[in-house]
Structure 1
Amino acid sequence: MGEKLKGIRLRRETIALGLLLLLAFGLRVAWLGTIPGNITADEADNLTTIFKIQVTGDPGLFDLDWKPQPAMSMYVFSAFMWVFGDNIFGMRMASAVLSTLALLPFYALARRVVRPVAA
């Protein structure tokens, strides 16, 4: 009987985590292309680097971008823009997806530190 209760508790926890992830993603994606109404300076610089990557392939994957940091993250943004469109929505979608996925290790850590119900 104890194993059955454990399985039910784990299933409820998984469903709750799934709903939390859906809510978090929905809140991140709602009005993603319109709020804020402007493009920040960093976003504009990133877009310039991404468009340069798409056209010329420069900077290389491990070359430095404008920050100066390896341009690998700009390749990730470029891939998201290829899927979701060459616009600010496509670029911001990378942050929305990756920050939602970051909730999984955060939840796992919180679950280890506190009880599953509190996590």
Structure 2
Amino acid sequence: MKNLSIKLKLFIISMLSLIFLSATLGFISIKKTSETLTKQKYEALTATRDLKVKQLQELFELFSKQINLLSNTAYVKDLTKEFMQLHQEIGFDKYGKFPIDNEKIKEIS
């Protein structure tokens, strides 16, 4: 470096400084951009999750109302009584297989 002119030394120092500065700014901007994108995607996923939870709650409320409505009909009440009578007459196990070969069950169905 002793044989180099002052202009060349200043030019090399300036170039090295600019390269270091641009590398530092590039690293910082990439890091900030990455953090921002991660935060945005996380917020989008959270919003989607909350929306799906709300949709499922509304769906279950609808199903609950429909079940209550249908279970209070005369048809379902009569069917329940028939099943109870059939259970008492045949005496099948509620955890076992349903006796579909029984004559009384074939008459009903």
**TM-score of the superposition, structure 2-length normalised?**
0.41
Looking at secondary structure, tell me which structure has more helix per residue. Answer: 2
Higher relative contact order (CA 8 A, sep 6+): 1
**TM-score of the superposition, structure 1-length normalised?**
0.38
Structure with higher Rg: it is 2
